[in-house]
Amino acid sequence: MVTLEQFSSEQTRAVVSNSAWRVFLQDAAWLGMSAETRCTVLGDVSEPLYESWMKAADVKFSRDQLDRIVLLHAIRERLEKLFGCANASSEWLLAVHSEKDPVFAGRSPMEHVIYEGMIGLYHILTRLEKMMEDITSALTNWEDEDADDHIWPADDATNNRPRLLH
């Protein structure tokens, strides 16, 4: 198993770069990222370099680029768990957040990455993890409130409240 610390070794980077490239291309396609956005996410690589990687059989990434690919993959995994599909995930990434949002401040998460680089990827990952915690907490509280030991009278108004189907 390769750890992030091992990305410092040129030898390890050479071994994992081609696999990382395939993962990056799959994640970027799943998220609907344009070639221009892909270049930005990879650390502002030039379009000619990106195109040469598209044609190359052998890609060698820097530590920074591999870290970015790992962050993007983690983001894609969280988005898939939260939203279940590429379309909803892409919509969230492109949706402009409130001006009052302390992280995105009137930008979409993808615009945030364009302006902030790798730290923007980290901010997105952190936000998604917080959203997952909030949902888990809400579901746990909901389950506690709806425990089987509650007996609702047939005429109780709460008996008619909307229910999750699963």
> What pLDDT, in 10s, does the model give residues 5-23?
667 778 888 889 999 999 9
Least confident of 72-76, 77-81, 134-138, 153-157: 153-157
What are the residues whose beta carbons fall under 8 Å from the beta carbon of 98, sequence distance 6 or more? 104, 106
Please report which confidence band the pLDDT of residue 46 belongs to, taking 50, 70 and 90 as the band edges.
very high
Instruction: Give me the residue spans of the domains in the chain.
Output: 8-140
pLDDT for res 65: 94
Closest alpha carbon to 115 in 98, 103, 127 = 103
> 54 near 13, Cβ under 8 Å?
no
CA distance 149 to 146: 8
CA geometry: angle at 115 spanning 52 and 32, to 5°? 55
Structure tokens at 25: 């291309």
User: What is the rounded average pLDDT for all residues in the chain?
Assistant: 83
Encode 71-84 in three state secondary structure.
HHHHHHHHHHHHHC
What type of residue sits at position 115?
Answer: Y
> 146 near 138, Cβ under 8 Å?
no
The 10s digit of each residue's pLDDT in 74-102 is 999 999 999 988 888 889 999 999 999 99
